[in-house]
Amino acid sequence: RWWDVKTSTRVTYFIAISEEVRSRIMKHYHRASDMIYPPVDTEQFQLSTTAEDFYLIVSALVPYKRVDLAVEVFNKNGKKLVIAGTGPEADKLKVNATSNITFLGWQSDEELAQLYAKCTALIFPGEEDFGIVPLEAQASGKPVVAFSKGGALETIIDGKSGVFFPKQTAESLQQAFERLSLIKFNSTDIRRHALGFSRSIFKQKIKEYIEGKVRQHIHNQ
């Protein structure tokens, strides 16, 4: 930690990928930072206005992703859950899962795009600094059920492109599903929101940021 803080003094400008990271930079480095969201390849995903009867998780199967919460909920509610991803928790999760839960393992980008297009909604039960997966689902026009902490708060519009659950418990997640079922989501609006994180917008913001810092540097000489 000491070495990390010391080397941070050599950085001229910080760019944070989310407000969550920006606050951490201030807390640990006592430095201000600008915030530019990382890009999502929105062109890789197509708007889907239909859905098959299953929910989706796209995640590494590691403890902090909290895939176990979804397994616990779907063991009880009997709905179909498809999990795409691999990791050290895979065997443990499979042993605890009922037959309505399917583990696909690793999936290609093309296969993931098809899963996003077909699912009813994406489940995002972990906490991330930003989180690309929720935006990939939204780029496909699909809502997201997410834990209300970290980067998800900046990429999902509650009641418009998804719903949040406040506690990482099975009960809280189940309540979010109940709320999800009461909302009529507009797939076109969901995708439109995701397009705000596209590569073209990212490139433009980075370009403007660099040009602005260059002008500032020249002015201060």
Query: Both 25 and 49 in a single domain?
Result: no
- pLDDT of 4 reads 75
Query: Both 118 and 185 in a single domain?
Result: yes
Q: What is the pTM of this model?
A: 0.93
- For residue 174, give both structure tokens: 């189940």
- pLDDT of 198 reads 97
- pLDDT of 53 reads 94
Q: Is residue 91 part of a domain?
A: yes
Query: Both 22 and 99 in a single domain?
Result: no
Helix (H, G, I), strand (E, B) or coil at 99: coil
Q: Is residue 107 part of a domain?
A: yes
Beta-strand ranges (E) seen in the chain are: 15-16, 34-35, 55-58, 81-84, 101-105, 121-124, 144-147, 162-165
Query: Both 106 and 135 in a single domain?
Result: yes
Query: Both 189 and 110 in a single domain?
Result: yes
pLDDT in tens, the chain (221 residues): 777 777 888 899 999 999 999 999 999 999 999 999 999 999 999 999 999 999 999 999 999 999 999 999 999 999 999 999 999 999 999 999 999 999 999 999 999 999 999 999 999 999 999 999 999 999 999 999 999 999 999 999 999 999 999 999 999 999 999 999 999 999 999 999 999 999 999 999 999 999 998 998 888 87
Q: Is residue 110 part of a domain?
A: yes
Question: What is the C-alpha separation between 127 and 36, in angstroms, rounded?
Answer: 19
Query: Both 26 and 69 in a single domain?
Result: no
Question: What is the C-alpha separation between 39 and 110, in angstroms, rounded?
Answer: 18
Query: Both 184 and 86 in a single domain?
Result: yes
Query: Both 51 and 26 in a single domain?
Result: no
93 CB neighbour count, 10 Å cutoff = 17
- pLDDT of 216 reads 86
DSSP assignment string, 120-136 = SEEEE-S--SS-SHHHH
Question: What is the C-alpha separation between 141 and 161, in angstroms, rounded?
Answer: 8
Query: Both 155 and 53 in a single domain?
Result: yes
Q: What is the CATH number of the domain that holds 151?
A: 3.40.50.2000
- pLDDT of 218 reads 85
Query: Both 14 and 65 in a single domain?
Result: no
Query: Both 145 and 94 in a single domain?
Result: yes
DSSP assignment string, 15-51 = EESSHHHHHHHHHHH----EE-PPPB-GGGS------
Q: Is residue 156 part of a domain?
A: yes
Q: Is residue 205 part of a domain?
A: no
Q: Is residue 220 part of a domain?
A: no
Q: Is residue 200 part of a domain?
A: no
Total structural domains in the chain? 2
Query: Both 171 and 190 in a single domain?
Result: yes
CA distances from residue 72 to 94, 145, 186 in whole angstroms, order as listed? 11, 15, 29
- Give the range of the structural domain holding residue 68, as residue numbers without chain letter: 44-194
Question: What is the C-alpha separation between 41 and 138, in angstroms, rounded?
Answer: 12
| Single-letter code of the amino acid located at 72 | E
CB 104 within 8 A of CB 56: no
Q: Is residue 68 part of a domain?
A: yes
